[in-house]
């Protein structure tokens, strides 16, 4: 998880991956060779800075491609006790591309949301104290150049006001963030597929829409750590709002028996979680894959409950499920 100490290189690489994944490249076939037009996209990603009078940090990221823009504001805290779970609350917005201004050499850069955040506030900030521009070619392992990646670091300065419209954060104001701005150019070439890998282990998902709450968990087959997430999201125009709790815990926090009975511990996410919920299989399993075989089993609620204690958004307890399934993946 990112925090105040995350390096600018890590932030910029993460934003590059997000932009590349979101935009993609649409290729067409011509005499057996794939071609696509060159595309250029821009982004900004700030460091996480403290929220006054709360044990949280706040950060923002935004990207632009053509006439479309996207903004995400993230509020996060990590518990100081137990397995140190992380609680995150995010506010995401689709923006007109005109709200984000990027010069071709990444200076000047500006974000001005005007009234496009509606009741959630507004942001008017620009890049100051910009570093020298750094540009590197992006290459496949075989040496094929697929484009370039340019960055500057500096300070995003101006006015940031988020009205969370909740009973916890209320209004958050900032005048500056450390920031990395990026330019991603894709020439349309793609890398050849790499070797097939097999990630062995168990994965589980359950949802109960009446709460609402989603629970997911994963773990390796025998050694390592279990990963548990409790989350839910809602739309409150013009925002999409997400609440999540994530923890890395001992394997005992997520168990799957030989008969696919599942137990997931919310206690592993204390103080943000509590209780243990149980599921059992129903119906026949389905199997897919050859060298990497995945067995998937539908589950039904058996007993117990799991509670997510969100600071913003309220406490949610799952004590049933509309849908649940568990999968086991092994290399054959």
Please give the Cα distance from 322 to 109 (Å, whole number). Answer: 46
Peptide bond into 161 cis (omega under 30): no
CATH, range 8-186: 2.40.370
Residue 267: count other Cβ atoms within 10 Å of its Cβ: 15
Would you say 92 and 72 are in contact if contact means Cβ atoms under 8 Å apart?
yes
Q: Which two tokens stand for residue 85?
A: 């779970």
pLDDT score recorded for residue 206: 98
Would you say 220 and 328 are in contact if contact means Cβ atoms under 8 Å apart?
no
Peptide bond into 271 cis (omega under 30): yes
Q: Which two tokens stand for residue 126?
A: 């620009």
What pLDDT digit, counting tens, does each position of 100-119 carry?
Answer: 999 999 999 999 999 999 99
**Most distant CA atoms of the chain, gap in Å:** 62
User: What is the gyration radius of the CA atoms in the chain, in angstroms?
Assistant: 22
What pLDDT digit, counting tens, does each position of 14-65 carry?
Answer: 444 444 444 443 333 333 334 468 999 999 999 999 999 999 999 999 999 9
DSSP letter string, 298-322:
EEEEEEE-EEEE-SSS-EEEE-S-S
pLDDT along the chain (332 residues), means of 10: 40 45 37 62 98 97 96 98 98 98 97 98 98 97 96 98 95 97 96 90 97 97 96 97 98 97 98 98 94 96 98 96 98 92
Q: How far from chain centre, in Å, is Cα 255? A: 25
pLDDT score recorded for residue 267: 98
pLDDT score recorded for residue 196: 83
Q: What is the dihedral of CA 23, 28, 33, 35, to 10 degrees?
A: -50
Query: What is the pTM (predicted TM-score) of this model?
Result: 0.87
Q: Which of 311, 296, 315 is nearest to 256 (CA)?
A: 296
Q: What is the dihedral of CA 20, 94, 67, 153, to 10 degrees?
A: -60
Would you say 249 and 220 are in contact if contact means Cβ atoms under 8 Å apart?
no
């Amino acid at each position: 998880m990112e925090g105040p100490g995350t390096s600018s290189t890590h932030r910029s690489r993460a934003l590059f991956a997000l932009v590349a994944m979101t935009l993609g490249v649409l290729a067409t076939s011509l005499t057996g060779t794939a071609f696509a037009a060159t595309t250029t996209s821009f982004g900004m990603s700030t460091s996480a800075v403290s929220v006054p009078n709360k044990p949280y940090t706040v950060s923002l990221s935004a990207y632009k491609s053509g006439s479309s823009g996207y903004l995400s504001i993230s509020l996060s805290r990590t518990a100081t006790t137990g397995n140190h779970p992380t609680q995150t609350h995010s506010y995401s917005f689709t923006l007109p591309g005109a709200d984000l201004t990027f010069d071709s050499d990444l200076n000047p850069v500006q974000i001005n949301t005007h009234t496009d955040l509606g009741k959630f506030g507004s942001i008017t900030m620009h890049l100051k104290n910009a570093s020298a521009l750094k540009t590197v070619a992006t290459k496949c392992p075989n040496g094929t150049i697929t484009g370039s990646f340019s960055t500057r670091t500096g300070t995003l300065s101006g006015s940031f006001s988020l009205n969370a419209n909740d009973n916890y954060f209320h209004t958050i104001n900032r005048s500056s963030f450390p920031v990395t701005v990026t330019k991603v150019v894709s020439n349309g070439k793609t890398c050849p597929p790499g070797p097939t890998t097999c990630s062995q282990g168990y994965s589980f998902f359950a949802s109960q829409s009446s709460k609402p709450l989603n629970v997911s968990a994963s773990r390796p087959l025998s050694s390592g750590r279990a990963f548990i997430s409790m989350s839910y999201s809602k739309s409150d125009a013009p925002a999409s709002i997400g609440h999540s709790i994530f923890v890395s815990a001992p394997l005992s926090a997520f168990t799957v028996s030989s008969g696919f009975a599942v137990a997931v511990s919310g206690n592993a996410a204390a103080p943000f979680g509590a209780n243990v919920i149980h599921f059992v299989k129903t119906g026949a399993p389905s199997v897919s894959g050859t060298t990497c075989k995945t067995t998937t089993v539908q589950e039904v609620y058996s007993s117990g409950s799991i509670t997510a204690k969100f600071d913003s958004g309220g406490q949610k307890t799952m004590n049933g499920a509309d849908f649940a399934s568990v999968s086991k993946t092994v290399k054959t």
